[in-house]
Amino acid sequence: MKILLISPNTLTVPYPVYPIGLDYVAGCVAAEHQVRIADLNVLSLAALAELLRDFSPEIIGLSCRNIDNTEAGEPLFFISAYGELVAWLRERSQAVLVCGGSGFTIMAERVFAALGVDYGIIGEGERFGLLVEALHRGLDPTRIPGVISPGSSPATPEPWPGQQVRAFRPQASHVEFYLKKGGMLNLQTKRGCSFNCIYCPYPHLEGKKHRLAPPAEVARTALDLQEAGARYLFLTDSAFNSDVAHSLAVAKAFKDAGVSIPWGGFFAPLRLPTDYFTRMAEAGCNHVEFGTESLSTAMLAAYRKPFGVDEVFAAHQQALEAGLHVAHYFLLGGPGESPATVAESLDRIEQLNKTVLFFFIGIRIYPHTALYDLALAEGKIRPETNLLQPLFYQAEAIDRDTIAAQVTARAGKRGNWLIGSGGARSAAMVKKMYDRGHTGPLWEFLAG
């Protein structure tokens, strides 16, 4: 069969991201079928129309990575545009339309209804291969766990038990786009998140148990990406070091394999071996993005973060001493937040030197999280509340505007304190630097 996989994500804030999910979806399709990827960061609608005419796909897979930008202050919502794209595709193609992706899985039934596609795949995209075979043989795809169709509402399936195969094709036209704009390609070292943070949908997306890719295999893929021209690798794991031993083994495998380009990813500021970040740095790591979320002792406990204030400072210091660029993400406004807890966080944040701070103010309520259950129990939402349009948790003692005013006042003129991921201004700066040949996430240029 002829299959077209579309990435409609053209968001450039904080920078355009390589659609790695589609490499895995392409990798699970049997070799007898033809698969092409259309990335709308590269293809205009006119070029997509031409591709539909020339290739005439029988199945179109649409990736829904982002529902919205989760920024309460500068909200963007993407589902309406994806719905329009589906209608546009229907006018030009008879193909069966299938949707999947992290945004889709977070609220599958809502997104499915909003898009009007034929099938959706909840959870990991590897089941797309089974759906293609079912359609090929005239069988009913809804027998596959997690496949949704009009009228059916399956539960999220167990994590994919089989192999994960990444079909990376260096010659694909979209690869060149990312190589030219920042040189960044993506790499996944494991699936699953074992943390219990109350607001987070990651365990729902990837499962709670880690499934670790063999370090040597990860390093081989890293080398493939490097040989394809990548000048930076972003490790897309929910938290690269949620299995500390595995992250060290991956770093060692990079060194052994001769991976020589820099890389970075999300880290949790856990209690770590004293030489942890030195070993990361020796393996080429140069950016550490900490999912710190708060520096109030009470709020870290309320969020059920797997670390406390002391661990954050120790990890920060260790990463700086290893010569790494360090950023922290903060998530303010959860249950129990108050002017005092915000002030406590900000006082401690002032003591984090040489870093970039991304403040997300207001926590989006996602189904399948403890925050959802709490908001329900507190009467802030009802079971029928539509959460597709972002709804942010409202703390009893402080509202988002007051938190934003508190952060903005404290930030003063400092350029390294950013609300959200920095908005259009910092994205424009990144674009300019990419055009001049700079690579990587580049937020270190804002470090104070």
My answer on whether omega of the bond before 339 falls inside 30° of 0, hence cis, is no
Site for ligand B12 contains 307 (CB under 6 A): no
Give helix 79-92 / helix 108-115 axis angle, nearest 10°.
Answer: 50
Site for ligand B12 contains 202 (CB under 6 A): yes
Phi, psi of 329 (to 5 degrees): -100, 135
Site for ligand B12 contains 186 (CB under 6 A): yes
Closest-CA residue to 25 (of 102, 128, 173, 118) = 128
* Burial of residue 162, with CB atoms counted within 10 A of its CB: 0-12 exposed, 13-18 middle, 19 or more buried: exposed
Separation of alpha carbons 378 and 389, rounded Å: 20
- Look up tokens 């290893």; give the residue: 322
Site for ligand B12 contains 101 (CB under 6 A): yes
Site for ligand B12 contains 11 (CB under 6 A): yes
Separation of alpha carbons 126 and 177, rounded Å: 25
Tell me which of 3, 4, 16, 302 binds ligand B12, using CB under 6 A.
Answer: 16
Region of 20-28, 247-255, 301-309, 341-349 interacting with ligand B12 (CB under 6 A): 20-28
Residues 106-165 that bind ligand B12 (CB under 6 A): 106, 121, 124-126, 128
Is there a contact between 243 and 193 (Cβ–Cβ < 8 Å)? no
Separation of alpha carbons 192 and 354, rounded Å: 31
Tell me which of 48, 52, 66, 108 binds ligand B12, using CB under 6 A.
Answer: 66
Tell me which of 168, 234, 303, 393 binds ligand B12, using CB under 6 A.
Answer: 234
Site for ligand B12 contains 221 (CB under 6 A): no
Minimum gap (Å) between residue 343 Cβ and ligand B12: 25
Site for ligand B12 contains 345 (CB under 6 A): no
Site for ligand B12 contains 218 (CB under 6 A): no
Separation of alpha carbons 438 and 448, rounded Å: 20
Site string for ligand B12, 412-431 (x = CB under 6 A): --------xx----------
Tell me which of 51, 68, 309, 445 binds ligand B12, using CB under 6 A.
Answer: 68
In the bound state with ligand B12, the residue whose beta carbon lies nearer, of 186 and 345, is 186
Region of 30-38, 197-205, 308-316, 407-415 interacting with ligand B12 (CB under 6 A): 197-205
